[in-house]
Amino acid sequence: MDRPAPTPPTSRRTIRPLALVIATVLMAHWALLHGMPVSLVSFAGQTTLAERAPSPRPFITRTITPQPPVPEVEYAPPPASHVLQTRTAPTDFTPRPAATEQPAIAQPAKDPAAPLASTEALDLAAAPSNPTPNVSTGSTQKSSQAQTVRNVAIPKSMRLKYDVKTQVKGISLAVNGELLWLQDGKTYDARLEISHFLLGSRVQTSRGRITPDGLEPERFGDKVRSEVAAHFERDKGKVSFSANTPDAPLLPGAQDQLSVFMQLAAMLGNAPDRFPAGTTISFQAVGPRSSDVWVFKVGEMETLQLPGGEIKAVKLSRDAVGEYDPKGDIWLAPDFAYLPVRIRLLQSNGDLVDQQWSGTQTP
């Protein structure tokens, strides 16, 4: 008796390449979203996200360049008894215990080789009139002067939903995004999740304190299959990484790759007139394995047609630095306390990620 011929494994042969394509597109989206090159091995194997090494250029803490003829503005530190004032009432969630002591923030001296040395600069960190020495590798030097107290408009707690569209190598894929932002006036928690119903999710978290100058991250986490994290060790003047990559010096005003968006919101929300089109804002941006310098250029107010409706937002742009670094644009909406309503990243080869606001909820 003849045995029936086995059915060719067409289904498996079809599904595996499809899964590989989807995984490639999705992981390329992860890489684009956080400004790093990506090395894709296989869907069944390990996928490596290799972050670009820190830039050797001098770091300028949260500095904007006013257009002529605006003169340089210097701020004198107000009395140390001033306290943080925010424009939003604290929300009801249980914060972590606040640290009992806040170390003074070191202020870097102006470096003639710095990118903004040719123009008058407004120091957003409000350095004292006698700047402290430059930050040395692996440690920070504490300022002998009292920390400048500044009003910031910390966004109220909010949940933003996003539709995320990607196009990689001509293949389109739609995923979901959610930003959960919680704060009580003293501490904050932020969580960004990008998810796909077939491939699971990627989650980034940031937590830390709220200071007179805005956000002071303590921990940044990035999880796909397992989590890697960056720890801000302010008493040692460094950032350490659970991935066992080399420590990075902790510079004044440092943010992580998630808190940077809320810090921008706090700065623009407090005094938008201080950031006219053409000014630049720079941060040390700490990722899960290393840190870099992100520089944003402020653009004009635009009217956007998004899945959540029509909304006005200020456009900020981040130029590509390296060959594999994407050009990024973000739009911060005054109606949402300048939280991001759109993030668009474009690679030189045409690969695109476009994250657009679709709805808002009270957490």
- Please name the helix (run of DSSP H) or strand (run of DSSP E) that holds residue 33, with its range, or none: helix 10-33
Beta bridge partners of 160: 179, 360
What pLDDT, in 10s, does the model give residues 248-297?
Answer: 999 999 999 999 999 999 999 999 999 999 999 999 999 999 999 999 99
Q: Which residues in the chain belong to E strands, given as ranges?
A: 63-64, 122-123, 158-168, 171-183, 187-196, 200-211, 214-223, 227-233, 238-241, 248-249, 255-256, 280-286, 291-306, 309-318, 327-333, 339-346, 352-361
- Those residues whose C-beta lies under 8 Å from the C-beta of residue 253, and which sit 6 or more positions away, are 61, 62, 105, 124, 125, 213, 283, 284
Question: Could you tell me the residue ranges of all domains in the chain?
Answer: 11-363
| Cα four-point dihedral sign 106, 110, 114, 116 | positive
What pLDDT, in 10s, does the model give residues 308-319?
Answer: 999 999 999 998
pLDDT at 132 over 60: no
What pLDDT, in 10s, does the model give residues 195-220?
Answer: 988 878 899 999 999 999 999 999 99
Instruction: Report yes or no on whether pTM surpasses 0.85.
Output: no
Q: Is 188 left (phi over 0), alpha (psi -120 to 50) or beta?
A: beta
Q: Are strands 200-211 and 158-168 parallel, antiparallel or unpaired?
A: unpaired
Structure tokens at 161: 């939903």
Which amino acid, one-letter code, is at 168?
V
